[in-house]
A and B are shown apart, each in its own frame.
Chain A
Amino acid sequence: MSSLNPAILFVIGALLLPLMPANARRYVALLIPLIGMALVLLTPNGSYGNITLFGLELTTYRLDKLAFVWALIFHIAAFIGALYAFHLKDTVQQTAALMYQGAAIGAVLAGDLLTLFIWWELTAIASVFLIWARRTDRAYRVGMRYLIIQVGSGVILLTGVLFYYHDTSSLAFGHLGLGTTATLLIFIAFGIKCAFPLMHNWLQDAYPEATITGTVILSAFTTKLAVYALARGYAGTEILIWIGAIMTAFPIFFAVIENDLRKVLSYSLNNQLGFMVVGVGIGTELALNGTAAHAFSHILYKALLFMAMGAVLYRVKTIKASELGGLYKSMPWTTVFCIIGSMSISAFPLFSGFISKSMILTAAAAEHYTWVWLVLLLASAGVMDHSGIKIPFFAFFAHDSGKRCEEAPAHMLWAMGIAAFLCIAIGVYPDALYSILPYPVDYSPYTATHVITQLQLLMFSALAFAVLFISGLYPPEIKSVNLDTDWFYRRAAVKVMTPIAAMVATASNGLFASVGKVSSGSISGINSLFGPQAWLSRTLDSTGMVALVIGALLIFLGFYLF
């Protein structure tokens, strides 16, 4: 019984949810992650749910040390998300959330590539409803863009899987590595979901436009599923080190000048994924442990930060830095939780980011990737800016915006409180997390060198902020949007395609018009011969008919004779 796939539980729950009364729905959404977690904890590592479909051997449920880390944190995130969304009566969001969480868990537990593909696509389709649930035209358009890219990733994955099956006659989801067209396609599919540079912009486009609770839920699953898939299939693939290093660095610049604070967090999410991708690329035991640990702690502090910003949006109705400030007076608890999230993501000692990120940096240094290490260090200072300082400072402090509101609702505070507690617990007692990592951990984060150097990095970054802010050099928060690669498909492509589309329209109109002329000409010709008033249609008297037939027969006879 305990080998029941928790993903199935989520999907059944999601399907039954619309039949339940509103009050029951929110308790079911809370209960399912807990039952699912119990199922995963009680199941010994192994392969379950082996089925043969059209001659294909599928392992629908594979639990091992790597999958366990992700399965566990996904359940925790699902529970925290459900608690945060406890006020919702919206069936669409509740159903979509459960379905999406279940799909992500199913994908992590998939032992073969076909099962992975099915769950992979379900995450895309279920999650878009968390964006559409805002029920605005804008959200509709954003959702469409998001869906096209997400489903596109799935289609590329399926193509790669089919090639892979053709090459190897196997669907097992183990180490793939680059080298063939098949594995390259699968790599690209993973890369899109992981928001690799230049494939990243769906994330910053879509996440800030989802509902208040939707963004919190979205932030935990899709991209971390992609990190898991990379860790499973492409550990030690060197190009990932460089891709990851770029990912840690470039989103920072966008985050610094972004006004929408949920979008700042989306860029920050992208930057955090970079650290994990570097870890996968290095591929040593320490690095992969670092990636797993960082995914675990990242999901918690990122959800915490999105929850805090969601609470602000819920109460103040805006999340633009230019409109906010001074909210610590109205929302003291949210402020405290947000600062805990900020200190975790900035990797202050005693907070969760410190004990996981330092593993990846140490792994990079141990393998002598000097430049990568320097980029990661620069990115760490950048994290201190956009997530460590900018988010709490401009929302809760800075100049007083004069906005006064109530504190966040109790269930939101509880959700934030649990996430904040876990952020600190992991930071203070890292051995608990280290004990579930894929490889044995021989690493101690709390050495004098680590603690002092990290504090130097962070406090001098804070000092730099103070200097820049007081001297007026710090870029002010202004109402604006910033162009990113989405410009190419939202503007450039539209600009280029519009005249082409117009030309096609004109050409096809012309074509159809001439076709119309020809056809209407021939129709009128036919009409004049066979139409109601035409000579051939006229009702002739029988003599005339006989004469016509005889005439025709005479002509045939003539042909026959000569």
Chain B
Amino acid sequence: MSQPGSDNPTDQPGADKARDQSIRDEKKWWLDSPANIKLIVWALAIVCVLLFLADFFYHKHGHFDFEQWPGFYAWYGFLSYCTIVLTAKQIRKLIGRDESFYEKEDSDTNNELDNE
């Protein structure tokens, strides 16, 4: 984050514009296109469907009975993931604080003395 009084030249408004311009002029990357992102998501969905169906075509060796349920790992993974992320989101309301809660100083390297 740029701070007032910072001596970093890219923090000047003029430099900002120049940087934006240079980013616009850059070559376009494959991932820059939203259509390609959609492609990745669809590919992921198809892989998931195939993996789910794979459960019907091999004999599963497990230690527990519930491992034999079709797609046990698939939905256990999906639900675990959602539970973790959505619970954490709620926990954030409880324990989230402003960045300067403990320390006014930044943990970025800007205020570090040169020791390289």
Contacts and interface: CB of A to CB of B under 8 A. Distances in A.
A37 interface: no
Interface string B63-77: 110010001111111
A402 B85 contact: no
B105 A137 contact: yes
Contacts of B47: 459
A318 B1 contact: yes
Contacts of A87: 116
Contact of A138 (B26, B84, B95, B105): B105
Given A136-B111, A368-B63, A449-B61, A455 B51 contact: yes
Nearest to A486: B102
Interface string B98-116: 1101110101111111011
B75 to A, nearest CB: 7
Residue with the highest number of chain A CB atoms closer than 10 Å, among B45, B73, B108: B73
Contacts of B26: 329
Contacts of A458: 77
Closest 10 CB pairs of A and B: A365-B63, A256-B88, A464-B81, A381-B80, A457-B77, A456-B73, A460-B77, A135-B113, A483-B95, A460-B78
Contact of A460 (B54, B81, B108): B81
Contacts of B81: 381-382, 384-385, 460-461, 464-465, 468
Interface residues of A, number: 81
A482 B20 contact: no
Contacts of A542: none
B59 to A, nearest CB: 8
Contact of B108 (A320, A447, A482, A483): A320
Contacts of A381: 76-77, 80-81, 84
A259 B88 CA distance: 13
A402 B22 CA distance: 10
A385 B79 CA distance: 13
11 contacts: A138-B107, A211-B115, A253-B84, A256-B84, A257-B96, A328-B31, A385-B84, A449-B58, A454-B73, A475-B85, A482-B95
A457 B105 contact: no
Nearest to B41: A466
Interface in A371-400: 373, 377-378, 381-382, 384-385, 397, 400
A89 B1 CA distance: 28
Contacts of B86: 468, 473
A175 to B, nearest CB: 27
B84 A481 contact: no
A448 B59 CA distance: 9
Nearest to A366: B63
A260 B84 CA distance: 19
Nearest to B58: A448
Interface string A449-491: 1001111111111111110101001110011111110000011
A456 B88 contact: no
B39 interface: no
A337 to B, nearest CB: 18
A407 interface: no
Interface of B: 1, 19-20, 22-23, 26, 29, 31, 41, 44-45, 47-48, 51-52, 54-55, 58-64, 67, 71-78, 80-89, 91-92, 95-99, 101-103, 105, 107-113, 115-116
Nearest to B31: A397
Interface string A100-129: 000000000000000000000000000000
Contacts of A181: none
Given A460-B48, A475-B92, A89 B116 contact: yes
Nearest to B82: A464
Nearest to B98: A480
Contacts of B63: 362, 365-366, 368, 373
Contact of A378 (B80, B98, B108): B80
A490 B102 CA distance: 8
A313 interface: yes
Contacts of A454: 73
A253 B78 contact: no
A253 B61 contact: no
Given A449-B58, A459-B48, 9 more contacts: A87-B116, A378-B84, A381-B81, A385-B85, A404-B22, A447-B61, A456-B73, A465-B81, A481-B101
A481 B71 contact: no
A463 B49 CA distance: 11
B92 A317 contact: no
A402 B77 contact: no
A93 interface: yes
B19 A257 contact: no
A362 to B, nearest CB: 8
Contacts of B76: 377-378, 381, 457
A87 B98 CA distance: 35
Given A133-B115, A134-B112, A463 B89 contact: no
B73 to A, nearest CB: 4
A457 to B, nearest CB: 4
A88 B55 CA distance: 52
Contacts of A382: 80-81, 84
Contacts of A89: 116
A362 B63 CA distance: 8
A253 B88 contact: yes
B77 A257 contact: no
Given A252-B84, A461-B77, A468-B85, A456 B105 contact: no
